[in-house]
Structures are given as structure tokens and as C-alpha cells.
Structure 1
């Protein structure tokens, strides 16, 4: 994600915006988590393949010993070496089963938490308004709200209509005190023309983000420590800015819900360390 560029002339006004360090840390943490999840999935697939190979080996050894018993009446017991190989193969299968079970439990827990967040948000916000979208990308929940619900054109003052929508979002956030939410402001590519306080779309996107953060904290009871304000200007569009309709889609505020699934991280990291030994 690109860094937020804030003009030096408005630093005093935007002092409440998210720090570049905090935003970068959040981005790094999200990437680290996704990389860990991808690595875990690769390990899981590898374990499944190894399990199948070991099962085939064990079956072959059993057949071999059975044939030996049938062709030699004098053989009363399996050869010691064959029996040991079968035992080792079976023990290895049990060990792989345990590792697979642990990783599947961890992945299931993460998916369950994400599903619970989406369900809570959709229940609270509702699906009847086409200007509100709730989706999941790479295990992270996103709430995208069209700017026409939140602000007047070129303004960063939150409308009364928007407060009703934000109240529903705040309820879900307040029910999840161990979550963090990043509020991202997005604009279209039309250069900002307005008062001298805001210089460009960067300023406008960040100011809209901090305005929403203030409504959530000052009026709707969300803890400031759970919120991060950020602006993306016009550089992460949903569609090309080649029509009035598309520009309207790109003017939006996105709330990124970031669960702190500490137990999930610990479980996966512990299992990964075991496999590295």
C-alpha cells in the first residue's frame, strides 16, 4: 500500500491522522499473517501428500509380509525388519495426522472468526443499500461505503444520514473490543478545488477519514485505540475514472476490520516451528 502524502502546510490540521509508522506496521502485519497462512497451507498440502505416500508404503509392506507367509509355511512370524518398517510407517502416519489436524483446526478457527465478523456486520448494516458493500479479501473484512452517503461533494463534513450507517458499524466494533479498524478515504481523479485549507485529493481523503473517526469515537463510543485513520487519494480506484458513474464508485470510504487472532497465530507458529526441527 502506498504511503499517505500529507502537505506540510496542513500538518497541524491533520495531526490526528494515522502515523506513517503505524500504517506501515499494520500493512506489514497483515502481509506477514497472509504469508504465514500461505506457508501453512503449503505445509498442509505437503503433509497430506506424504501421508498418502506413507499409507501406500505401509500397505505394500503388509502385502509383502502376507506373501512371505503364504509362500513359506516354515515362517511363523514376520521378519523383524519388516515388522519394524511397518511400525515406523504407521507411527509416521499418526504423527502426520496429528500435524494435519492441528493446522486444520487453526485454519478453521481463522475462517470461523472471519465469518462471524461478516455475519455480524451484514446483520447490523443490512444488505438493502447498494451503496454499502461488505466482503472478504485474503481473510480481512472490508466495509465500503459510497461517499454520497457520507459527505457532500468536495466536503469532509459527515452528513446526518451517514451517522445512522456509522452507528450500525460502531455497534459491531464495540462488540469486538479486541479488533482494530482502519478507516480509509478514497477519492476519484478529479483534482480537488476548494478552500485553501485542503491542497489536493490526498488532503481530502485523509480529512474525510479523520472526520469519520471522530464521529465513531466522539458520538458513537468507539475506543480511539481501535481506530486508524488513513487516506488513499485517487490511487486505489475500483474502476477506471472514465465516466461520472465510475468516478462516483471510486469516491468511497473503506473500513478495514482487523481481528487480533492471537491464538490462531500462536497455534500456527508453534506448529511451523515443530516441523522445522
Structure 2
């Protein structure tokens, strides 16, 4: 953590020396917002999965309690029936003894009163267990409904993201094998475009083929206004050696991400508030930088599409 903080401080010093204070502050604010939003979305997603697991565990515990109370009720019912049968037998005996002995009648009467009192106590216990059983059954139904609702919302979000992934893959079919990949993981869709499809070496100007790919992606995003779009620029670890206002890979990656955002903003159906640009420089590689092939993979634009989780947040807040 200390190394990362020192590194971040050095990077900020470099950025501050290469970019105007206004641009630097804007980029710093956008990147901070991006990190905050990314952490929030990841936390929301993890919280949702945790809430689902907790709800399922509560459901299992309530179901177990329900079964135990049901068995207890059945036992009380059996005890009640046995006691009632015993009482009936005693009443029959009472009728017989009444003819023969007043003492026996008195004893039998006392026993009868005791059995009646016992029977009333068992009836009260049975009634209390029936009430408790009804309460547990209602809790079980409520928890089951909550689990079902959470599962339904998660399934709907996953289905929507799968449909989005398929739509993007279909729209970008022409660019298969040209450094473009579309993946779905952790509830998000990742569109990765290698720089060979988008930019010339050291440049942040998008070529005609790359612009066509971004425009076709934008046509899909324009039909999905509830998707947050994060555009990240990445480079390899070869130091930037170009001329002009940029002096580092971080500057270059940020400028390239912003170029993609500017093309997407040309589509009036895309809400600008849903777009975020960020430069990651060489600090988030997906392959080794020790080979030309690995460095080519690391030089990329990564577009991360995230569904808005307002409905899931509402369900979690109702817990």
C-alpha cells in the first residue's frame, strides 16, 4: 500500500508537470469518481450476493424450525388424543364404581378432575404451538419470497447483460480476429480493442477502421441507456517517446480513452453522464511485457459496461 501511494504520488507529480493544472484536476477528479463508482458497484454486487446467501441460510433455518414445531404439534396432538381416551375410560369406570362405592366414586372424581386439568393444559399448549407454527410459516413464506425476488432481479440483470454482450458481438462481427474481444464476467461486459485496431504508434487519433468499430459499438450502447460505460486506456511498459504535449504512457492512455469517449458522444442516443474516461498507463497489464505479443495485448482500450443497480439497492435497503 505504501509503495502504491508513493508510486501514485510520483505519477501525480509527473502528470502535474506535463498537463495544465485545469486538465490535470479534471482528469484526477474523473479518475477518482471512476474508482469510487467502480468500488461502489463491486461492493453493491458483493453485498447482493452476500444478502442472497444470508436470505437462503435464513430460509433453511426457518424451514428447520418449522419442521420441528410441526413435529412437536403432532406429538402434542397424540398426547391429547391419548389423554382424552384415558379420560373416556375413567368416565366409564366412574359410572361402574358409582354403583358400588362412594369412596371409589370420590377417588375417581378427583382423578377425573386432575385429568380434566391436564387435558386443558395440553389444549392450551397445543393452541400456543399452532399459533407459533403459523408465525413461523409466515416468516418462512416471507423469506422465501425475498430470496425469489433477489434471484429474479439478479437473473434479469444477468440476462440483460448477456443480451447486451450478444448484441455487441453481433455488431462487431466484422472485427473478429482484428484485436477485438467481448467477454461477460462478474455481472459486467468487457469490450477490449487492441491499439492496432484503433491507433497508430504513439498517436491518440483513431483511424478509420477503429472509428467504424467504435461507432458500431455506440449504436448498441445508444439502445441501452441504463448502462454505465467506463473507457480505460492501457499501454505496455515501453516508455513514451513521442513529441508534443504528452510525456508519459499515462498521458497517452488517458488521451486515447478520451478520444474514444469523444467518438461515442457523437451518438446523440448515448447519455454523456454514463460515459467515463480513464488512463491506466502500463499498470494494468493482461499479458507479460517481456514479449512483443504480450506487449501488443497490453496496448488496448478496454470498455467496461456495468448495469445500474438501483433496484438491487432498494431491495437491500428493505432488509
What runs of 5+ residues in structure 1 fail to find an aligned partner? 273-277
Q: Which has the higher contact order (CA 8 A, sep 6+)?
A: 1
Q: Is the 8 A contact 1:202 1:233 kept in 2?
A: yes
Cα deviation per residue 1:10-31 (whole Å; 9 max; x = unaligned)? 2379567462342233223223
Q: Match of 1:275? A: none
Q: Match of 1:116? A: 163
Q: Match of 1:105? A: 152
Q: Is the 8 A contact 2:44 2:309 kept in 1?
A: no
**CA distance in 1: counterparts of 2:232 and 2:57, whole angstroms:** 38
Cα deviation per residue 1:53-102 (whole Å; 9 max; x = unaligned)? 13431442244245435644537996323333332332332222222222
Cα pair distance change 1:84/1:215, threshold 3 Å: closer
Q: Is the 8 A contact 1:110 1:264 kept in 2?
A: no
Q: 1:126 aligns with which of 173, 180, 183?
A: 173
* Alignment coverage as a number of residue pairs: 270
State the shift of 1:193 in Å: 1.0
Q: Which moved more, 1:96-105 or 1:163-172?
A: 96-105
Q: Match of 1:34? A: 45
Q: Which has the larger helix fraction? A: 2
Cα pair distance change 1:253/1:117, threshold 3 Å: same
Q: Is the 8 A contact 2:198 2:210 kept in 1?
A: yes
Q: Which moved more, 1:156-165 or 1:31-40?
A: 31-40
Matched, 1:9 2:18: yes
Q: 2:265 aligns with which of 214, 217, 232?
A: 217
Q: Is the 8 A contact 1:180 1:258 kept in 2?
A: yes
**CA distance in 2: counterparts of 1:219 and 1:14, whole angstroms:** 24
Cα pair distance change 1:13/1:93, threshold 3 Å: closer
Q: Is the 8 A contact 1:134 1:144 kept in 2?
A: yes
Cα pair distance change 1:89/1:177, threshold 3 Å: closer
Matched, 1:93 2:140: yes
What runs of 5+ residues in structure 2 fail to find an aligned partner? 86-118
State the shift of 1:106 in Å: 2.6
**CA distance in 1: counterparts of 2:312 and 2:170, whole angstroms:** 25
DSSP 3-state at the match of 1:155: coil
**CA distance in 1: counterparts of 2:20 and 2:34, whole angstroms:** 17
State the shift of 1:123 in Å: 2.3
Q: Is the 8 A contact 1:7 1:203 kept in 2?
A: no
**CA distance in 2: counterparts of 1:124 and 1:84, whole angstroms:** 60
Counterparts in 2 of 1:103-252, with a 5 A limit?
Answer: 103-126=150-173, 129-130=176-177, 131-218=179-266, 222-252=270-300
Q: Match of 1:20? A: 31
Q: CA RMSD in A?
A: 2.8
Q: Which moved more, 1:167-176 or 1:5-14?
A: 5-14
Cα deviation per residue 1:197-237 (whole Å; 9 max; x = unaligned)? 21111011011111111222237864433311110001111
Q: 1:57 aligns with which of 68, 74, 84?
A: 68
Q: Is the 8 A contact 1:109 1:264 kept in 2?
A: no
